[in-house]
Amino acid sequence: MTVEERVTEALRGVMHPEIERDLMSLGMIKGVSSKNGRVRVTLALPFREIPIRDKLVKSVREAVTRFDTDLSARVDVVEMSQKERAAFMTEAEGGPKPAEAANQVDEVLAVLSGKGGVGKSSVAALLAVALNRAGRRVGVLDADITGPSQPKIFGLHTRPVGGPNGIYPVETGQGIKVMSINLLLPSEDEAVIWRGPLISGAIKQFWNEVVWGRLDYLVVDLPPGTSDASLTVMQSIPLSGVVLVTSPQDLAGMVVRKAARMAAHMKTPILGVVENMSYATCPECGARIDVFGPSQAAHTSTELGAPLLGRIPLDPELSHHCDVGRIEAYETEAFDPIVEQVVERLEAEQETPRENEA
């Protein structure tokens, strides 16, 4: 048995003081190497600065030197990527549920805005529809628990049914799988008057207790702002990236920058910015009209260091299709370049956690 193998075995006995699981099973030991009597262990933490950081580092060092006093130990601390943190949270809560363990979701895209009223939900729906038209298997998780709109946009009224592994989402006419709290309420007008913990619990259930099956993309419609719901998604669901939605108003740009900083803090890749309701086209002469003032899209994307994916015009037809639940029948060329860039960004995205010696 090599030194690395013996150290790894020793580390299986190091328990997390709060979760009562060993660090290896929690995915916190990312690497073990040795050279000339010096062992180097890479310890991954959900966040770089946590109260028990020093205690964990000390426990790892002691585990290495305990079985061989001639060895010296160095512990490098890294911060988990967003996907690693989500896996850690799942393990910390007892491991994946049957549905989650059986699901195969390749990419999870979150759509987020800083404030309400900028068309975040319609952009999320358009993204799902465009991916579906491209032949991809797509689902929509409506995480806006207190303001759910995806069933209305897609014209869904059927209640989800349960099975031995979990709850089955409702499918649209084109085969997009949708799960929303509104599908479970007695009527679509019923208010969800819940505090943060209940909302967070429902979002987790939509991820780990819904039988999504095999999906190429799961689009998550987040509530506006940086509340418990958005935090829960970024902590518990392995996101591939987030699309930020704003409008031409400087106020909307200011608030979406807050959402962007939250995503950056949570190590969630920002795929780009979409400016919705960017302009209107005159039906008589075809001129562009800046209904909400000059576009702030370029300025906002530059400040965020994220690409501008595109500008979507203010279109009464889109509003009509959403109101009557026929978003899948809506045709627009403005959204095609946005979807292409999202897919390209996903393919190019590589997360590399920063390292720091402790």
The mean pLDDT of the chain is 89
pLDDT digits (tens, 9 = 90+) for 137-168: 999 999 999 889 999 999 999 999 998 889 99
Rounded alpha-carbon distances, angstroms, from residue 143 to 30, 150, 222, 293, 294: 31, 10, 5, 31, 31
Burial (Cβ within 10 Å: 0-12, 13-18, ≥19) of residue 315: middle
**What's the pLDDT score for residue 286?**
81
Q: Tell the CATH topology of 3-79.
A: GMP Synthetase; Chain A, domain 3 (3.30.300)
CATH assignment of 93-348, given 3.40.50.800, 3.40.50.300, 2.60.120.10, 3.90.1150.10? 3.40.50.300
pLDDT digits (tens, 9 = 90+) for 45-78: 998 889 999 999 999 999 988 877 778 889 999 9
Q: What are the sequence ranges of the domains in the chain?
A: 3-79, 93-348
3-79 and 93-348 have identical folds: no
Are 218 and 212 in contact, with CB atoms under 8 Å apart? yes
Listed in sequence order, the DSSP H helices in the chain are 3-11, 53-67, 82-92, 98-102, 120-133, 150-154, 196-208, 228-236, 250-265, 297-304, 316-323, 336-348
Diameter over CA atoms, the chain: 84
Share of the chain above pLDDT 90, in %: 58
pLDDT digits (tens, 9 = 90+) for 167-226: 999 999 999 999 999 999 988 888 888 888 899 999 999 999 999 999 999 999 998 877
